[in-house]
Structure 1
């Protein structure tokens, strides 16, 4: 046991990750974590997607330390600050303009669920409607408004009150590959007597991170976008985990060519793991009255500093190109693993550096998490039954560390699934 007994005596029962990973981490750099005993771990977890640029990214850290050293103001709520101004201007220049996107920026409280709460609240205000449509297997946060849009039964049950004003729709592929759920959704909203009234908004993730790495197709996303237009509803994309490059492009919805009315960002928007969340709003929907939605930590300037520095990675296509190369490497490695198991045992799910293995036996993924930890690899599970082993390495991981992590995963699969062990050169050959 690495953990002091005082933690078990003093920390709330709500703690979760540490129950499956009894390691006391001390330092982190890039895609490597080191514990208090000096043991190293390859990190394919990346702070649940909040560390897309790795631990203590040197470029971001340099900017942060310089800001702190010069007594840069820390918290300004929504007063003007130099750090916030630089981020807003840089975000417009590097992210929005090149993509032909026109959004106003709303800074909310420090977490993703704060961004979702603001988005839902604004959609209701803008449309005058109360009901929001969300999807099967969705996860949007654990505060009550976001929780109502979340599908996970355990999370919903912890709310303790009725979670209302949300209707549930079938996500792409929910009924299997031969049924287009967009057809069903369109029928529900167009048929008299269905009981489905026009919603204020439809909120969705293009890749459902906690829901099991379910990916929506371009065709399906375009159908949902058009449905929103037909209904006069706002399309909200929750890009909190899938955004900021996790799926390859900065926004996960870019390949589909859609233009959401509202976009929610958090996790890696700060670039450094600092708390920050951001809501992008098409100007015609920005109907807030001053102070109508606020939060003390919506003006965290250290986060603005590192968020601005992180945008340097998106000045050109080098990072996006690297993500594409690494994505192909991971997919090849995972497909090789699947081919070595019995038919129907596992399948590859997800896209970009947001990929994993879905197992027919839900217990397998959890067993693999433990086996990976023994090999010095940090991963997690997702899905309604925790049946998916999820891989989320930092986007800036180097090829050697990525390959090392995949080798550790292969060894863990050997121990749990009894698949053959490839040579290290075979995996490196993929890269």
Structure 2
């Protein structure tokens, strides 16, 4: 009997690409029920930057549970929350000259985005939000309104309004000036655009196809927002917490957003945790005006506090940069070895990929990788990008091993050898 086919909703997706039943995970590997080992270049869609079950975090969590630490607390004060807030300020915010207040809106990334939207509208008294082509910000209605993917938007079942999509960096054919384009809409009384409350973006559009905004583009956007009194929010849910090298993805651009959304790898352990960071003057909430039952997830505070130990020096970030260079060089070699595949390399840090002119190549290569026990996904509006998202802690040996598997899979598909179409299995 296929327990999943019988009882679980048809909405399930990743299991259709990886037809096995996983049982155990450690570091940069998972094992299924049969004991087959899989190298992980997916990392929980970016929720496992430190790998599976990292020992320091696991020890801290087990000790907390063993001592009957508070698990659920809504927004009451707890020692676990105090320790996290203190550590976040000490290790991340203060060294970067940031005095942002920390809001716990609920446990997921879309909760953080929804809070940002509501806050910007409350502060400014305006309702329009500008987002960008190929953006992905979540699956709740407010987040969907600022998401570009048509399939995900159609799932809302209702009109999605109060949002305007503008061209992301390099979305338009070169030469183009998408910042100038946005500014003309803001300044021209005949454009039909009301002065926005907020501009929100990802500095690297992960789900949207690993589209990278240049630092110059980000700087111009930040200046534009300041000039017109528009709040700027960065959704760093998937590409923050070190994914691009520094803790925040926007740091190399030298900008400081008014609002920052974090989730996914913030807990460092795959436990749900999200925060919305805001400039102190923007913290105009009335008590309870935005809340959620699970905004006080103390086990996640515990692991997040332990995870921040990685950020007491530049060592961790430097290691990510070294590994990133390896990935970029290998992907460039792979693309160059098979010009007939018409692949280009995209990405920054340890979120990189191969974008194919023929979208079917990416999914076929991903299936071939699975057959060689490598977990890897695709991204982009047509699934045209093979997306590498290994844990930041992946060993150099395993990183090279995974890249070898990718190279072999590309060669296999380039030779016209089809990977076996997976069939979902159960128990």
1:375–1:411 CA contact under 8 A, matched in 2: no
1:343 Cα deviation after fit: 5.7
State how 1:12-411 maps to structure 2 within 5 Å.
12-342=9-339, 345-411=342-408
- Select between 242-251 and 226-235 the one with higher mean Cα deviation: 226-235
Q: Secondary structure at the match of 2:183?
A: helix
2:340–2:414 CA contact under 8 A, matched in 1: no
Q: How many residues align?
A: 416
Q: Distance in 1 between matches of 2:280 and 2:386?
A: 39
1:211 Cα deviation after fit: 0.5
1:416 Cα deviation after fit: 1.0
Q: Secondary structure at the match of 2:241?
A: coil
Task: Give the alignment's TM-score, normalised by structure 1.
Answer: 0.95
1:373 Cα deviation after fit: 0.1
Per-residue CA deviation, residues 1-52 of structure 1 (Å, 9 max, x unaligned), is xxx5121010001101111111111111110111110111110000000000
Q: Secondary structure at the match of 2:397?
A: helix
Q: Distance in 1 between matches of 2:95 and 2:341?
A: 43
1:136–1:170 CA contact under 8 A, matched in 2: yes
Q: Distance in 2 between matches of 1:318 and 1:312?
A: 11
Q: Distance in 2 between matches of 1:183 and 1:131?
A: 19
Q: Secondary structure at the match of 2:410?
A: helix
Q: Secondary structure at the match of 1:280?
A: strand
Q: Distance in 1 between matches of 2:312 and 2:360?
A: 43
Q: Distance in 2 between matches of 1:299 and 1:409?
A: 41
Task: Give the alignment's TM-score, normalised by structure 2.
Answer: 0.96
1:180 Cα deviation after fit: 2.0
1:138 Cα deviation after fit: 0.3
Q: Distance in 2 between matches of 1:109 and 1:417?
A: 45
Per-residue CA deviation, residues 323-347 of structure 1 (Å, 9 max, x unaligned), is 0110000001100001011267100
Structure 1: 4+ residue segments shifted above 4 A: none
Higher relative contact order (CA 8 A, sep 6+): 2
Q: Secondary structure at the match of 2:294?
A: helix
Per-residue CA deviation, residues 57-77 of structure 1 (Å, 9 max, x unaligned), is 011101100101111010111
Q: Distance in 2 between matches of 1:200 and 1:235?
A: 9
Q: Distance in 2 between matches of 1:283 and 1:169?
A: 28
1:238 Cα deviation after fit: 0.3
Q: Distance in 2 between matches of 1:184 and 1:343?
A: 35
Per-residue CA deviation, residues 118-147 of structure 1 (Å, 9 max, x unaligned), is 000000000000111110000000100001
